[in-house]
Structure 1
C-alpha cells in the first residue's frame, strides 16, 4: 500500500478515537477545485472510493488519506498568451505596457484560463500508530509530507510532532556498515546506493545493480564519501532504500509475508484492509529496530553507554 515512508514522532499520546477522528476529518472532506482555484486539499476515503469511511482502524493504527487536486496551467501557455495580449495593446494604442500593467494582465489571463484547465489528483496515505507513537506518511518528498501534516494539524486543532533526530548519524552508520563490513545480521545490503562528499555536495556517486562490497565502492568511501542512501532488506520482511533523513523509498513487503492474502474469496476492500494490517505491523517493528540502531528516542539509548562509542557496536 505504501511505496514510501516518512516518520514523525508524536510528543503526546494520540487521544482521538476512530469515531472522533472520523468526525474531525469529515469537516475537511475533499472537494474538487472551483473554477478559479489552483488547488484544493482535503480528506478522502482511505481504502476505496466505494466506501465513505475516512478512517480505517486496525491494531491501534488509523489509516487516513489526503487528496490534493491541482489545475494544470503551464507557465509557458500563460507567458505566450501574455505576450500576445501585450503586443495587441502596444500595436493598437501605440504605447509601451509597463511592469504593473503586465502583472495585472497576467492575473487576468490566469483567471480566464483556469476554468478550462485540466485537473490532476494525488492521494497521500497516512498511518497514525497510537501504540508506538509514530506517524508514517507515504510521501516521496519532504514538502508532500509536510503539506499533509499541516492539513492534519489544521483538522485536529493541534498535533505536536517532530521529525526523527537520531543520536547516531545515519550516513555515518551506513558508511561504517559498508566500509567495515559490519552490517547487522537482520539487514541485507542491496545493490543500490548514493555516495556524497560531505565537503562538496555536488560530488555525488549513484549506483544501481552494483556490488556494494567491490573495491570501486570501497575506494570512494576510503576517499571520504559517505553513504546517503542505501538499498536494504530487513529480516526477510521489508525491502526499501534508506536515506540519511531516515525516509524510506521503494518500500515493499516481501512476498512470503503476503502469502496469507492468497484468498480468492476476499473482495477488494477486504484485501486492502488486510494489506494495511500487515504493513502497519511490519513498519511498527521496523521503526523499533531503527530506533535501536540509530537512537531515535531517549529511552532507546543505554544510559550506561557513551554514544560516542557507537562505531564499536554492531547494533
Structure 2
C-alpha cells in the first residue's frame, strides 16, 4: 500500500478518538474543482465501508487519505486559441495587439477553456503512529507531501509537523 513513505514528527495535540479526528478533517473535506478553479484538495473517506468517517484507527495508528483534483489544460491548447484570437483582433482593428492586449486575450482564452478542461485526481495516503507521534505520507513528490502536510495542519489546530531526521541513512538500516 505504501511505496514512497516520507516520515514526519508530530508536535502538539492529536485528536484522542477516530470520531474527533474525523470531525477535524471534515473542516477541510474534499470538494471537486469548480468550473474556474485549477486545483482542489481535501480529505476523503479511507474506506467505502466507513461511511462518512474520514479516518480509521487500527492498532494504535490512524489512517487518513487526501484527494487532490486538478484541471488539465495544456499550455499548447491555450496558445493555439490565443493565435486565433490574435488573428481575429488583427482583422477587426487592422493592427497587431499590444503586449497588454495579448495578456488580456490569453487570460480570456484560458478562462473560457478552463471549464472544458479534463479533471485529474490523485489520492495520497497517510498514517499516524499514535505512540511515537510519527506521520508517514505515501508521496513520490515533495510537492504532494507538502500539500498533505499543509492541509493536515490547517485541519488540526496547534499541530506542528516537521521532517523526521534519521541518525543513520535509511538504506543502511534496510
Structure-2 separation of matches of 1:165 and 1:71: 35
What residue in structure 1 maps to residue 165 of structure 2?
165
Determine if contact 2:153/2:161 at 8 Å carries over to the other structure: no
**SS of residue paired to 1:162:** strand
Determine if contact 2:63/2:125 at 8 Å carries over to the other structure: yes
User: What TM-score, normalized to structure 2?
Assistant: 0.91
Structure-2 separation of matches of 1:70 and 1:50: 26
Structure-2 separation of matches of 1:80 and 1:22: 45
Per-residue CA deviations over 1:11-62 (Å, capped at 9, x if unaligned) read: 3453442221111111211111111111110111112377322110011111
Aligned-residue offset at 1:106: 1.2
The structure having more radius of gyration, on CA atoms, is: 1
Structure-2 separation of matches of 1:124 and 1:49: 19
- Judged with a 3 Å threshold, the aligned counterparts in structure 2 of structure 1 residues 167 and 3 are, in CA distance, closer, same or farther, namely closer
What residue in structure 1 maps to residue 6 of structure 2?
6
What residue in structure 1 maps to residue 89 of structure 2?
89
- Judged with a 3 Å threshold, the aligned counterparts in structure 2 of structure 1 residues 13 and 130 are, in CA distance, closer, same or farther, namely farther
Aligned-residue offset at 1:154: 0.8
Structure-1 separation of matches of 2:165 and 2:30: 33
What residue in structure 2 maps to residue 57 of structure 1?
57
Structure-1 separation of matches of 2:34 and 2:122: 17
Per-residue CA deviations over 1:213-242 (Å, capped at 9, x if unaligned) read: xxxxxxxxxxxxxxxxxxxxxxxxxxxxxx
- Judged with a 3 Å threshold, the aligned counterparts in structure 2 of structure 1 residues 50 and 98 are, in CA distance, closer, same or farther, namely farther
What residue in structure 2 maps to residue 267 of structure 1?
none
1:16-55 → structure 2 map (5 Å cutoff): 16-48=16-48, 51-55=51-55
What residue in structure 1 maps to residue 124 of structure 2?
124
- Judged with a 3 Å threshold, the aligned counterparts in structure 2 of structure 1 residues 78 and 153 are, in CA distance, closer, same or farther, namely same
Determine if contact 2:13/2:159 at 8 Å carries over to the other structure: no
Return 5+ residue gaps in structure 2 as ranges: none
Structure-1 separation of matches of 2:120 and 2:107: 22
RMSD, aligned α-carbons: 1.9
- Judged with a 3 Å threshold, the aligned counterparts in structure 2 of structure 1 residues 16 and 139 are, in CA distance, closer, same or farther, namely same
Structure-1 separation of matches of 2:132 and 2:104: 52
Determine if contact 1:8/1:164 at 8 Å carries over to the other structure: yes
Bigger RCO of structures 1 and 2 (CA < 8 A, at least 6 apart): 2
Q: In terms of mean alpha carbon deviation, does 155-164 or 47-56 score higher?
A: 47-56
